[in-house]
Amino acid sequence: MTSVASATPAAGRPASLPLQLAGGWEVGILVFMAALYGVGVFINPGFFGSTDAISSVLRDTARYGVMAVGMTFVIVNKELDLSVGSILGLVATVFSILYAPSHLDLGAGWATFGAVLTGLTIGLINGVLVTRLKVPAFIATLTMLFIGRGFVLGLTGGKTVAYERKAAADGWFFGWGETNAFGFNSQILIFAVVALLGALALAKTRMGFETYAVGDNEQAASYAGIPTRWVRMRAYLLSALGATLAGLMIVAQDKGITSQYGGGAELVVIAAVIVGGASIAGGRGRVVGACLGAALVVLIDKVLREGIPITREIDVGGIKMEVQAYAQLPPGAVPAFLGLILLGAVLIEPWAIKGGGAARVWALLRRRAAPPAADRGEAAIVGAQTRGAGSDARGVGATGLRAFLARRDAAAILLTVGLWLVGLWLRPDFWGSLDNSFNLLLAFTEIALVSVGLTFVLANADVDLSVGSVLALSGAIAAFLMKELGADPAVAVLCALAGGTLCGVVNGLLTVRFGLPAFVATLGTFYIARGLGAWLVAGRQLSGFSESFNLMGRNLFEVLAWAGAAPSSGLMLAVAKAVSVQTIFLGVVALVAGVVLARTVWGQMIYAVGGNERAARYAGIDTRAVRFWSLVFSALCASAAGVIYVAYYRSFNPSAGQLRELDGIAAVIIGGGSIFGGFGSVLGSLAGAAAITLIRSLLSLQLILADGSSFVMPQHWMNVFIGLVLIGAVVGDIWIRQENILARLVRRRSGVS
């Protein structure tokens, strides 16, 4: 329980209160912040040299700080809450919908009650999913992130909701978002109170001691009589409460909302807690450090965004004039830097401290022998990760239909067929047409390529959250090289594939070499890759590529017509119009990947590593290489999907690939894969990708009603349905495949009768 000891006083030497609330790490953050602020004053004295800068930093820190207080309990608990940004946005949205005169026009009290109830409900759902239904924390909260974002877009319709005039009559609430009589924003006072209470609760109460104990060793804490499930659930409720308070603070200040509220806030908050000294491995962290980390991250954001004052010379009617301007980083730069900060902060624990990296560098600088590497003792804590399910046992020796139904991918195949028949029933005049079949295959290709790569990663018991961002980065590279630099399409494609694959190499090194959890490493790459993609194209949409490149996204008929060999009639014409170049490419990739995973030694090693990494290592398998190359292959597949995206749409949009990580993970799990590793097949993932594609198509299908009118579901709600599908797939995998709950219920009923 060494982590707990680092956060509590040593035996026999009672520490004073300040040293329990803060320590040398927090002093180091303060020194670094002072130096960084000095840099800000140097590059932009007009802003950072005024008291307005300090007030602005503290005001923005207040919102992230109250969220960091709650997140500290979660991370000390050895878990993660990726939903806080969506909770903030949804709480602000619910308050605005209830309060705004343009909507329900209720009082501020009722609006506050509804907003608080919404936030705490999401926290409770997170807690139940993780502690009761055994869903991994990053999957549960990532899904709630997307569902919450879907509700925000659906409730607001993507529009701004404002109520500044009505807010003037409710000063008791909105006054908390304004400057008080002492000259500072009242939100800073709220932040100070919350930080003090959180620091005392974590450092001085039974609640805090239980949190440290569970995060350091949950099994030992359970043996000691600590209610570990309640401690973990309580942390999610506290995290949701912090995000709820932040949502109320932001509407009190802005007196309105936009549909973008809360976007990316989870990155800032997690980075703040980790920078503040908490360990992603649990058992260590302080609220004061997290709050200072929030201030540091906000200060870095301010320094990056404010820019450097410059003087430009412009020509107006032949007269040259000097104007004052600011040189600022392009869109996407700040998220990329914040992603780097997150990875750098997380690496401090496994590399610099436990891994002795800092000591080795210091020894190298002094030209002395490096100290021996510390024993991490992983063999004592790595256990079996996968269990067979009853369906697997029933499949042994089965033939015919029974053998098919016993397959883990059978449900995905049947679901795909059923969804297609539903579409045919709803719109028989459109669903089976060549045009719709072609469009379905195009949409399927993007999701399927991502899913094929993720099959290898999930079978390894890892996860790759960066595939959507890698897709966007590779597309940005191809588009930028062709449009801005006039590069040959072949060169652009190769560079795009190389750039995306490099992200996979980074993911592999962070996971395998530096020992980061795959979801943390790929979460950092998620923000870095998307930021770099937006940075590269300066946030613009690029188009106007050569037709030889665009043919990669067209059907065979257009390719053959370009070559002067287009069929004129018959079956060949129908096939040529329904099948695209990218579909053929997908078929080749899927065939090779399927054979490798199912029929080669390498594929069996992947299953072995995912089933039990320690046993696989004892068997002589190079588990690091298996995990590394699986992450690289996943990035390569996502890169190919990015190139195809640009070719199909004949343009690149920086928002490309959003939610593809959600689609891909859901497709693999629906197709028989397991979030715990050891299972999965390329055929099943393709069936899962087809199911996701059909669900999206059915949700966007124009339905003809009885009175002749039509109805199309607003696309804002798509995230909600796909998120629910993913949660359903994961819960089904855990309780139906792994825990075999149906057979247990049947046996229980038989015993009663």
Segment among 114-123, 231-240, 349-358 with least mean pLDDT: 349-358
DSSP conformational letter for 185: B
Measuring CA to CA, which residue among 404, 407, 412 is closest to residue 667?
412
Measuring CA to CA, which residue among 462, 467, 436 is closest to residue 693?
436
* Residue that the structure tokens 């409710």 belong to: 170
Residue 690 lies in a domain: yes
The range of the structural domain enclosing residue 198 comes to 44-171+184-308
Measuring CA to CA, which residue among 712, 723, 698, 711 is closest to residue 420?
698
Whether residue 232 is found in the same domain as residue 113 = yes
Q: How confident is the model at residue 284 (pLDDT cuts 50, 70, 90)?
A: confident
Q: pTM score, two decimals?
A: 0.81
Residue 380 lies in a domain: no
CATH number at residue 502: 1.10.3470
Q: How confident is the model at residue 163 (pLDDT cuts 50, 70, 90)?
A: very high
Q: What's the CA gap between 519 and 137, in Å, rounded?
A: 10
| Total of domains in the chain | 2
What contacts 753, CB < 8 A, 6 or more positions away?
none
Half-sphere exposure of 609 (CA within 13 A, CB side): 26
User: Mean pLDDT across the stretch 631-644?
Assistant: 94
CA dihedral sign, ordered 364, 367, 372, 374: negative
Higher per-residue confidence, 379 vs 661: 661
Q: What's the CA gap between 464 and 524, in Å, rounded?
A: 11
Segment among 272-281, 389-398, 596-605 with least mean pLDDT: 389-398
Segment among 46-55, 59-68, 455-464 with least mean pLDDT: 46-55
Is 753's pLDDT higher than 50? Answer: no
Report in angstroms the alpha-carbon separations of 28 from 9, 34, 299, 470: 20, 10, 15, 35
Residue 10 lies in a domain: no
User: Mean pLDDT across the stretch 493-498?
Assistant: 95
Q: Residue 260's pLDDT is what?
A: 83
Is 643's pLDDT higher than 90? Answer: yes
**Where is the domain boundary, 293, 308, 323?**
308
Q: Residue 230's pLDDT is what?
A: 95
DSSP lists the bridge partners of residue 324 as 311
Whether the CB-CB separation of 471 and 464 falls below 8 Å is answered with no
| Cβ neighbours of 330 (radius 10 Å) | 14
Q: What's the CA gap between 361 and 522, in Å, rounded?
A: 26
Q: Would strands 710-711 and 703-704 be described as parallel, antiparallel, or unpaired?
A: antiparallel
Is 19's pLDDT higher than 50? Answer: no
Q: What's the CA gap between 293 and 65, in Å, rounded?
A: 8
Q: What's the CA gap between 753 and 747, in Å, rounded?
A: 10
SS (H, E, C) 596-646: HHHHCHHHHHHHHHHHCHHHHHHCCCCHHHHHHHHHHHHHHHHHHHHHHHH
Q: What's the CA gap between 536 and 532, in Å, rounded?
A: 6
pLDDT digits 0-9 by tens, 683-729: 999 999 998 888 888 888 877 777 777 777 777 787 788 888 878 88
Whether residue 208 is found in the same domain as residue 63 = yes
* Cβ burial 705-737 (10 Å sphere, 16+ → b, else e): eeeeeeeeeeebebbbbbbebbbebbbebbbbb
Q: How confident is the model at residue 620 (pLDDT cuts 50, 70, 90)?
A: very high
Whether the CB-CB separation of 498 and 491 falls below 8 Å is answered with no
Is 409's pLDDT higher than 80? Answer: no
**Where is the domain boundary, 292, 308, 324?**
308
Residue 59 lies in a domain: yes
Whether residue 302 is found in the same domain as residue 419 = no
Is 200's pLDDT higher than 50? Answer: yes
Whether residue 300 is found in the same domain as residue 420 = no
pLDDT digits 0-9 by tens, 63-72: 999 999 999 9
The phi, psi pair for 310, rounded to 5°, reads -135, 170
Q: Residue 697's pLDDT is what?
A: 85
User: Mean pLDDT across the stretch 154-167?
Assistant: 88
What contacts 373, CB < 8 A, 6 or more positions away?
355, 356
The phi, psi pair for 256, rounded to 5°, reads 160, 175
Report the SS3 class of residue 226: coil
Whether residue 451 is found in the same domain as residue 570 = yes
Q: What's the CA gap between 679 and 242, in Å, rounded?
A: 38
Q: Which parts of 72-175 are beta strand (E)? A: 161-162
For the residues of 525-569, what is the DSSP string, one character each? HHHHHHHHHHHHTTT--EE---HHHHGGGSBHHHHHHHTT----S
Whether residue 255 is found in the same domain as residue 138 = yes
For the residues of 251-288, what is the DSSP string, one character each? HHHHSEE-TTTTTTHHHHHHHHHHHTT--TTSS---HH
Whether residue 425 is found in the same domain as residue 301 = no
Residue 722 lies in a domain: no
Q: How confident is the model at residue 259 (pLDDT cuts 50, 70, 90)?
A: confident
pLDDT digits 0-9 by tens, 127-143: 999 999 888 888 889 88
Calculate the dihedral angle through the C-alpha atoms of 580, 585, 587, 590, rounding to the nearest 10 degrees. -150
24-28, 176-180, 224-228, 255-259: range with highest mean pLDDT: 224-228
Residue 317 lies in a domain: no
Is 610's pLDDT higher than 70? Answer: yes
Residue 733 lies in a domain: no
Residue 468 lies in a domain: yes
User: Mean pLDDT across the stretch 402-428?
Assistant: 80
Whether the CB-CB separation of 459 and 611 falls below 8 Å is answered with no
Q: Residue 743's pLDDT is what?
A: 65
Is 215's pLDDT higher than 70? Answer: yes
Segment among 41-45, 53-57, 668-672, 741-745 with least mean pLDDT: 741-745
Q: What is the mean pLDDT of the chain?
A: 83
Whether the CB-CB separation of 643 and 582 falls below 8 Å is answered with no
pLDDT digits 0-9 by tens, 537-565: 888 888 888 888 887 877 777 777 776 66
Q: How confident is the model at residue 326 (pLDDT cuts 50, 70, 90)?
A: low
Q: Residue 210's pLDDT is what?
A: 93
* Residue that the structure tokens 């961002």 belong to: 469
DSSP conformational letter for 442: H
**Where is the domain boundary, 266, 285, 308?**
308
User: Mean pLDDT across the stretch 38-57?
Assistant: 81
Please provide the size of the chain in residues.
Answer: 753
Whether the CB-CB separation of 684 and 671 falls below 8 Å is answered with yes
Is 663's pLDDT higher than 60? Answer: yes
Q: How confident is the model at residue 10 (pLDDT cuts 50, 70, 90)?
A: very low
